């Protein structure tokens, strides 16, 4: 099945997705229609996917395999008093989905460059208008709402947008929180500033985060040292088009042996 590409900005969505959003609530029929794209937990019976498949409200636009990843990482935050930030509001449907999924204690914040998105505010959902490339705007945002339990970047997906947002907002993710960047495939698309192994794409930038994760083991302190990222990142989970950074307080790793030697 050809999966529709997500839009760069507030473009008209692909027809297949519009059709879904306009359909009456028929989770089974919609799931059937999406069957070739269904993987593991994004099958009927899981809350997020069921919500998406039966969505009759505001439009939501997600790649199908993302639901599996969301369930895996986000489930632990449900029904807790959390702050969830999504960059990229579009038609407002995903913010309503997060509100439903995380429960009434969650504070959902959306960011978009399109001023019309402000009209999608409702109880439990705040929306700020500004650009994710604007460091001043992001700093004000973090001061007003941070720290966040989860930051999800589903905005314009250009290289500078993804890198600036990560640099400004990762420090404002709570210990034990998550930073998620979506649509990493734009790192391979020229129109978004990408290109295979091209310098300064988000993919190349995040490869350096893999180095930083391992800096505890550096034998080359001149060029490779422990950073704030090394001390705060427990794991980098790379999926097709998505990076999930799992934050924790990290202390220098050590190893121990137990049991009886056999030689
Ligand atoms: C892919 S859509 C978001 C989809 C939405 N999260 C969903 O799941 O339905 C991308 C959104 O990012 C917004 N956007 C584009 N450039 C932006 C920027 N520089 N800062 C903030 N938002 C931006 C667009 O206006 C558009 O609404």
| CATH number of the domain that residue 217 is part of | 3.40.50.150
- The ligand 1 site (C-beta within 6 Å) comprises 6-7, 9-10, 60-62, 86-90, 93-94, 111-114, 131-133, 154-156, 161
Tokens of 146: 């941070």
Residue 53 lies in a domain: no
Mean pLDDT of the chain: 88
Quickly state the pLDDT bin for 45 (edges 50, 70, 90).
low
Q: Which atom of ligand 1 is nearest to the CA of 110?
A: 6
Q: Which atom of ligand 1 is nearest to the CA of 91?
A: 9
Q: How far is CA 161 from CA 108, 155, 255, in A?
A: 21, 8, 39
Q: 7 in a domain, yes or no?
A: no
Ligand 1: distance of its center to the CA of 58 in Å?
Answer: 15
Instruction: Map tokens 């650009």 to a residue.
Output: 131
Structure tokens at 55: 């969505």
- Answer for the pair 44, 27: CB distance below 8 angstroms, yes or no: yes
By three-state DSSP, how is residue 77 classified?
Answer: helix
In a domain, 180, yes or no: yes
Active site residue 91: no
In a domain, residue 4? The reply is no
Atom of ligand 1 nearest to the CA of 6: 1
Residue 128 near residue 108, CB atoms below 8 Å: no
Q: Does 43 have pLDDT greater than 70? A: no
For the beta carbon of residue 27, count every other beta carbon within 10 angstroms: 16
User: pLDDT tens across 87-145, in order?
Assistant: 999 999 999 999 999 999 999 999 999 999 999 999 999 999 999 999 999 999 999 99
Does residue 109 fall inside a structural domain?
Answer: yes
10 assigned to some structural domain: no
The whole-angstrom separation of Cα 182 and Cα 186 is: 9
Q: Which of 28, 32, 8, 6 is nearest to 159 (CA)?
A: 8
What is the C-alpha separation between 165 and 172, in angstroms, rounded?
Answer: 11
Stronger pLDDT, 137 or 49, i.e. the higher one? 137
pLDDT-derived band of residue 76, with 50, 70 and 90 as boundaries?
A: very high
Range of the structural domain that residue 130 is part of: 76-247
Sequence-distant (≥ 6) Cβ neighbours of residue 115 within 8 angstroms: 129
Query: 114 C-alpha vs ligand 1 centroid, how far in Å?
Result: 8
Residue minimizing CA distance to atom 22 of ligand 1? 112
Closest atom of ligand 1 to CA, residue 59: 9
For ligand 1, atom 20: residue with the closest CA: 131
**Ligand 1: which of 48, 89, 119, 151 to mutate, judged by most atoms within 8 Å of the beta carbon?**
89
What confidence score (pLDDT) does residue 3 get?
40
- At 39, is the secondary structure helix, strand, or coil? coil
Please indicate, yes or no, if residue 46 is contained in any of the structural domains: no
In a domain, 50, yes or no: no
Catalytic member of 65, 157, 214, 237: 157
Share of the chain above pLDDT 90, in %: 78
Total domains present in the chain: 1
């Amino acid at each position: 099945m050809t999966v529709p590409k997500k839009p760069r900005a507030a473009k008209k969505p692909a027809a297949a997705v519009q059709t879904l959003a306009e359909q009456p609530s028929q989770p089974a029929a919609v799931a059937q229609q999406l069957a070739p794209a269904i993987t593991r937990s994004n099958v009927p019976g899981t809350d997020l996917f069921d919500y998406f498949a039966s969505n009759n409200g505001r439009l939501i636009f997600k790649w199908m395999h993302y639901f599996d990843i969301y369930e895996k990482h986000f489930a632990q935050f449900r029904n807790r008093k959390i702050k969830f930030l999504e960059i990229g509001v579009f038609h407002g449907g995903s913010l309503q989905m997060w509100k439903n999924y995380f429960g009434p204690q969650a504070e959902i914040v959306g960011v978009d460059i399109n001023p019309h998105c402000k009209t999608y505010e409702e109880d439990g959902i705040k929306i700020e208008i500004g650009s994710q490339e604007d460091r001043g705007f992001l700093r004000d945002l973090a001061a007003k709402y941070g720290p966040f339990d989860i930051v999800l970047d589903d905005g314009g997906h250009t290289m500078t947008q993804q890198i600036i947002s990560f640099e400004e907002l990762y420090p404002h993710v709570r210990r034990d929180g998550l930073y998620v960047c979506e649509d990493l495939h734009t790192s391979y698309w020229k129109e978004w500033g990408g290109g295979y192994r091209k310098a300064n794409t988000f993919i190349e930038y995040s490869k350096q985060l893999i180095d930083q994760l391992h800096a505890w083991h550096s034998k080359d302190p001149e060029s490779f040292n422990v950073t704030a990222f090394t001390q705060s990142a427990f794991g980098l989970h790379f999926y097709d088009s998505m990076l999930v950074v799992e934050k924790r307080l990290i202390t220098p790793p050590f190893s121990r042996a137990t049991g009886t030697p056999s030689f």
